C-alpha cells in the first residue's frame, strides 16, 4: 500500500472511530499521524509535531478561558437574558439575531473565526435559556460568520483577494464577498428555518423571556463586559490576534479577581481542544504524504466545463470539513484556476473562484473545523457533546453535497 493511500486509510479509520465510539478522535489522530509519518514515511518526529496547530490551540485556549471566566462570574447568563429581549419574547428570532450579529462582526474585520469565537459563548447561553438546540444555534452563528468572512476587510477575504490578484484577477473583492454572502445566507438561514427555526417562530411570544432581565450587572461583570468589548474592538479594528487578545483579557480578569480562576480552567472544554488539534496533526500528514493530492486528483477527473463549479465546490468542501479553509484549501485551489480553465477549454474564472470559496466555507459548521469546534466548546455543560459532534459532522459532510448543488446553480446555471 502506497503512503498516500495509507494516510487516507488512517484518516478514514480515525473518523469512523469518532462516529461509532466515545474515543476522542484527537488522541487517535496523533497516534496515527506518528505511525504513518515516522514508521512508514520515514519522517522525523519533529516533522510530525510540526503539524500541531499552535495558532488554533492558542485561540481555543485563550477564548474559552476568557469566556469560561465570564460564565463563572455570571456575565454570560446576564448578557443572554438581555439579548433575549431583542426578540420580544419570540425564541425563533434569537438564532436569526445572532446570525446577523455574526455577519456584521465578521465582515467588519474580525473574520469568521474571531466572530465565532466572540459570539459563540453568548449565543449558546441564550440558546440554552430559550430552549434552542445547540446544533441549531451553531448553524446560525457559524454560517453567519462565514457569510461575512470574505469581506475585503476580513482576513479570509484578504487571503482570497490576494491570491486572485496574483493570477491577474483584479477588482474581485466585492463580487467575492457578495457571492459568498448570498450562498452562505441562503443555506444558513434556510437550514435554520427548516431544522426547527420556523417551528420556534411559529410558537410566537413565550412568557417569561422578555421580563427575564433580572438584577443589574455587578462590578465584576461590568469589568468582564469591558474586557470583552475591548477585545472585539481590538480584533475588528486594530487587527489584534484574537487568541493573544483573549489571553490578555483573561490575565486582567484574573489579576482583578473578577472570576474564580480554578473554576474557569476546570470549565474549559479540554476534550474538544484535544480533538481539534489532534485531527489537524493527522491532516498535515495527509498533505505531506500526498494523500490530499491523490484524493483531489481522482475527483477532478470527473469534471467538465459545464460541471466544474459543482465539482470543485464538492472537492473543496470535502477537504475543508477536516482542514483549514483559509490556511489550506484557498491557497491550494485558487492558484489552480488558470490551468484548470486551460484544460477545460475555457470557463468563468470568477465562477470557479466563488465555488471554491463557498464550497470551502459552507462546511465549516463541522466540529472538525474551527468554527464548529468553537461553538461545540461553548455548548452548555448539560449538552451531550458526543451527540452534538455527530450532528455537526453530519451537517458538515452533507454541506459538501449541498454546496456543490448551490454552486452549480448559482455560479453555473445562473
pLDDT given for residue 305 in this prediction: 75
> How many structural domains is the chain composed of?
1
d(CA 39, CA 395): 35
**HSE, side-chain direction, 13 A CA sphere, residue 96:** 17
Which of these, 212, 215, 251, lies nearest to 231 by C-alpha position? 251
More confidently predicted of 162 and 297: 162
> Using CB atoms within 10 A of its CB, is residue 331 exposed (0-12), middle (13-18) or buried (19+)?
middle
Domain presence at residue 412 = yes
Residue 96 has pLDDT above 90, yes or no: yes
Which of these, 254, 262, 400, lies nearest to 322 by C-alpha position? 400
Which of these, 348, 338, 335, lies nearest to 305 by C-alpha position? 348
d(CA 206, CA 153): 39
DSSP code string of 359-376:
HHHHTTTSTTSHHHHHHH
Residue pair 153/114 in contact (Cβ under 8 Å)? The answer is no
- In tens, the pLDDT along 262-291 reads 999 998 888 878 887 888 888 889 888 888
Domain presence at residue 337 = yes
Residue 212 has pLDDT above 60, yes or no: no
Over residues 184-200, mean pLDDT: 93
- Return the C-alpha cell found at 188: 444558513
Domain presence at residue 139 = no
pLDDT given for residue 338 in this prediction: 84
Domain presence at residue 79 = no
Over residues 102-108, mean pLDDT: 86
Over residues 188-216, mean pLDDT: 78
Residues 6+ apart with CB under 8 A from 212: 81, 84, 129
Q: Cell 486528483 maps to which residue? A: 297
Residue pair 221/74 in contact (Cβ under 8 Å)? The answer is yes
d(CA 212, CA 280): 42
- In tens, the pLDDT along 13-60 reads 887 887 677 788 889 999 999 999 999 999 999 999 998 988 778 888
DSSP code string of 315-339:
HHHHHHTTS-IIIIIHHHHGGGHHH
pLDDT > 90: percent of the chain: 38
Beta bridge partners of 90: 205
Residue pair 400/407 in contact (Cβ under 8 Å)? The answer is no
- Return the C-alpha cell found at 376: 461545540
Residue 210 has pLDDT above 60, yes or no: no
Over residues 376-399, mean pLDDT: 89
pLDDT given for residue 265 in this prediction: 93
Which of these, 355, 353, 356, 394, lies nearest to 372 by C-alpha position? 394
- In tens, the pLDDT along 134-161 reads 999 999 999 999 999 998 878 888 888 8
**Where in the sequence is the domain holding 348, given as residue range(s)?**
1-50+270-414
Q: To the nearest 10°, report the CA torsion of 52, 53, 54, 59.
A: -150
> Using CB atoms within 10 A of its CB, is residue 245 exposed (0-12), middle (13-18) or buried (19+)?
buried
Average pLDDT, the chain: 86
Query: Per-residue confidence at 209, pLDDT binned at 50, 70, 90?
Result: low
Residue pair 360/159 in contact (Cβ under 8 Å)? The answer is no
Residues 6+ apart with CB under 8 A from 5: 291, 294
- Return the C-alpha cell found at 42: 520515514
d(CA 1, CA 14): 18
- Return the C-alpha cell found at 397: 459532510
pLDDT given for residue 97 in this prediction: 92
* 215 three-state secondary structure: coil
More confidently predicted of 292 and 34: 34
Domain presence at residue 314 = yes
Domain presence at residue 138 = no
Residues 6+ apart with CB under 8 A from 225: 75, 79, 217
Triad 227, 229, 235: Cα angle to 5°:
100
Domain presence at residue 222 = no
Amino acid at each position: 500500500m502506497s503512503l498516500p493511500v495509507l494516510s487516507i486509510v488512517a484518516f478514514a479509520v480515525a473518523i469512523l472511530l469518532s462516529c461509532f465510539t466515545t474515543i476522542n478522535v484527537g488522541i487517535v489522530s496523533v497516534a496515527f499521524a506518528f505511525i504513518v509519518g515516522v514508521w512508514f514515511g520515514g519522517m522525523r518526529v519533529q516533522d510530525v509535531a510540526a503539524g500541531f496547530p499552535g495558532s488554533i490551540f492558542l485561540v481555543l485556549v485563550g477564548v474559552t478561558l476568557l469566556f469560561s471566566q465570564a460564565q463563572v462570574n455570571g456575565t454570560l447568563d446576564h448578557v443572554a437574558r438581555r439579548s433575549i429581549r431583542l426578540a420580544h419574547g419570540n425564541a425563533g428570532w434569537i438564532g436569526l439575531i445572532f446570525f446577523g450579529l455574526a455577519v456584521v462582526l465578521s465582515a467588519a474585520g474580525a473574520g469568521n473565526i474571531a466572530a465565532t469565537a466572540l459570539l459563540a459563548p453568548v449565543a449558546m447561553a441564550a440558546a440554552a435559556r430559550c430552549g434552542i438546540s445547540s446544533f441549531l444555534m451553531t448553524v446560525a452563528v457559524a454560517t453567519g460568520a462565514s457569510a461575512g468572512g470574505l469581506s475585503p476587510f476580513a482576513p479570509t477575504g484578504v487571503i482570497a483577494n490576494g491570491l486572485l490578484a496574483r493570477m491577474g484577477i483584479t477588482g474581485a473583492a466585492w463580487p467575492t464577498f457578495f457571492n459568498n454572502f448570498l450562498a452562505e445566507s441562503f443555506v444558513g438561514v434556510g437550514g435554520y428555518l427548516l431544522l426547527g427555526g420556523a417551528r420556534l417562530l411559529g410558537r410566537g411570544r413565550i412568557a417569561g423571556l422578555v421580563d427575564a432581565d433580572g438584577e443589574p450587572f455587578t462590578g465584576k461583570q461590568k469589568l468582564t463586559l469591558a474586557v470583552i468589548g475591548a477585545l472585539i474592538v481590538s480584533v475588528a479594528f486594530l487587527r489584534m490576534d484574537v487568541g493573544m487578545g483573549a489571553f490578555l483579557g483573561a490575565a486582567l480578569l484574573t489579576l482583578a479577581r473578577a472570576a474564580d480562576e480554578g473554576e474557569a480552567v476546570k470549565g474549559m472544554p479540554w476534550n474538544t481542544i484535544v480533538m481539534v488539534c489532534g485531527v489537524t496533526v493527522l491532516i498535515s500528514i495527509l498533505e505531506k504524504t500526498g494523500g490530499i493530492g491523490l484524493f483531489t486528483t481522482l475527483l477532478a477527473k470527473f469534471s467538465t466545463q459545464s460541471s466544474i463549479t459543482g465539482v470543485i465546490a464538492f472537492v473543496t468542501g470535502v477537504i475543508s470539513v477536516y482542514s483549514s479553509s483559509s490556511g489550506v484549501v484557498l491557497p491550494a485551489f485558487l492558484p489552480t484556476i488558470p490551468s484548470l480553465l486551460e484544460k477545460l477549454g475555457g470557463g468563468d474564472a470568477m465562477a470557479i473562484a466563488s465555488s471554491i470559496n463557498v464550497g470551502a466555507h459552507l462546511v465549516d459548521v463541522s466540529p472538525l473545523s474551527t468554527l464548529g469546534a468553537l461553538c461545540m466548546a461553548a455548548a452548555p455543560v448539560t449538552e451531550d457533546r458526543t451527540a452534538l459532534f455527530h450532528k455537526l459532522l453530519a451537517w458538515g459532510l452533507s454541506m459538501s453535497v449541498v454546496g456543490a448543488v448551490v454552486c452549480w446553480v448559482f455560479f453555473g446555471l445562473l
